[in-house]
Structure 1
């Protein structure tokens, strides 16, 4: 699957269209943060891999969620 071409293009200052919006900052999680995921439900962060991924215990399963964390929010 190819990335969208608009992400690779630069915005011309004379363009009548608005420049593309900046990507939102990646949310940071810490160990013992309570989170909710759209697919897995409530969980607790049990491991953090810098800004790459987090390991979450959703009881009865553990999942590694990679950044960006679109479907997961901190409670």
Structure 2
């Protein structure tokens, strides 16, 4: 007889559960050169809320309004 133990999960109210690390927010300014995993190279042409809400990026063939979190976009 084989005994397979299930992995232990922390209780939702446990004080020992792991806390999710907060990911630093990315901020972009007008004129920043950026690269996006799906759209390629572009330039920021507009920001909303100081870059905390959304940015408008010109990728050459199209313009896209991207919102937080900018997980697929990086400043060059």
TM-score category of the 2 structures, normalised to the smaller one: 0.7 to 0.9
| Residues 10/58 of structure 1: CA separation in 2 closer, same or farther (3 Å cut) | farther
Structure-2 residue corresponding to 1:67: 68
| Moved beyond 4 Å, runs of 4+ | none
CA distance 1:21–1:42, shift in 2 (3 Å): same
Q: CA RMSD in A?
A: 1.5
Larger radius of gyration between Structure 1 and Structure 2: 2
List runs of 5+ in structure 1 lacking aligned partners: 1-8
TM-score by length of 2: 0.75
- Residue-by-residue CA offset, 1:4-39 (whole Å, 9 max, x unaligned): xxxxx5651xx2x5x223221211000000000000
Task: Give the TM-score normalised by structure 1.
Answer: 0.76
Inter-partner Cα distance in structure 1 for 2:13 and 2:36: 34
Number of equivalences? 63
- In 2 relative to 1, CA 20–60 (structure 1 residues): closer, same or farther, beyond 3 Å? same
